Amino acid sequence: MQRLLQDVGLEGVGGGVENVRLGGHGDSLRRQWGHRWSRGGEDTRRGRPPLTGAARPLALPAHVCTFLPSCRLRRGQVRRRVIARVRRRWWRGCVPAAAALWVGALLGFGAALPGYVQSVHPVALLGAQGIPGAAAFNLFGFVLPGALCAVAAVALRLRLPLHTGWRQRIGAQLMFLSTLGFVAMGVFRLDPVRLEGAQTLLHATAWGLWWSTALASALLLAGGLRGDPAWRGLVRGGPPLAGLAVLFALVLPAVLPDGLSQRVAILAWLGWCGLAAVSGPDRPLTATLRG
């Protein structure tokens, strides 16, 4: 039996069946990895004799034992950093969520309404009085997207210094008014039967508030933040996007279908709101309270 164990390499150095502890495999690992031995072995570079036989347990090389915990540590550090960054910049996800809600509501409710053509009919027709599901569309197509963009506008104002210039302050407030105008278009529903009625006039007023304050806000913010490299994206891209929204909302409906021009105008406005959310320094929202 002892001879058989020696042939297969399972007998410990001490000899005897009672001392079998996978000694042969331990010796092969010792020869392969040298002094790199984990807990239970000894470092031969320090002049200490290695454990032999039953006293030496089966162990992995030291670099393997240290690699696995270090991987877990790095994954934990990356996860904590990502969570901290999301918490620090959570408002940046408001505008993409608003755009997803608006596009989803437009496509979903438009497909459910017979005869509705996206490129021809206006957006507000899905939320007009007498249309099935009008209240739900106004909620998901106007109110919630506008509220999410309003959060981005408030975050913009809070990231500005407390004693910033008047153009920055007024520009941020006008952006907030533009988002409220978008919300109001869902609150005051279009009445296709009475185009001169109170609801239709209020809806038209909200429409005018939406595009006029957006253009004024973009121009004021671009003028006040010029020269600040942290706001370079908003300074360069804000006025063109807001101007594009106004162009498609007022001028191009004369040559393009109302549905197409309105959709491009709203998409340009959402792009401007998203640019305002991602621009600027990585500053906490409460920093404005400290000046």
pLDDT tens track for 62-79: 555 555 555 665 666 555
State residue 60's pLDDT score: 54
Is it the case that residue 230 has pLDDT exceeding 70?
Answer: yes
Would you call 178 helix, strand, or coil by DSSP?
helix
End-to-end CA distance of the chain: 85
pLDDT at residue 16, as a whole number: 42
- For residues 10 and 16, the answer to whether their CB atoms sit within 8 Å is no
- What's the CA gap between 192 and 113, in Å, rounded? 16
- The yes-or-no verdict on residue 275 having pLDDT over 80 is yes
Higher per-residue pLDDT: 205 or 197: 205
How far is the C-alpha of 18 from the C-alpha of 12, rounded, in Å? 9
By the 8 A CB rule, do 136 and 90 touch? Answer: no
Average pLDDT over residues 97-123: 94
Is 229 or 212 the better-scoring residue by pLDDT? 212
Provide the residue type at 172 as one letter.
Answer: A
How much is the pLDDT for 241? Answer: 96
* Nearest alpha-carbon partner for 271 in 70, 99, 55: 99
pLDDT reported for residue 8: 43
Which of the four pLDDT bands, split at 50, 70 and 90, describes residue 190? confident
Q: Which residue has the higher pLDDT, 185 or 18?
A: 185
Quote the pLDDT of residue 242.
96
Q: Of 79-83, 109-113, 214-218, 253-257, give the lowest mean pLDDT range.
A: 79-83
What is the chain's mean pLDDT, rounded?
78
Tokens standing for residue 15 = 């000899």
Average pLDDT over residues 15-26: 43
State the sign of the Cα–Cα–Cα–Cα dihedral 7, 12, 13, 18.
negative
pLDDT at residue 248 tops 60: yes
Q: What residue spans define the domains of the chain?
A: 2-65, 90-290
Residues shown for the chain: 291
- Whether pLDDT at 19 is above 90: no
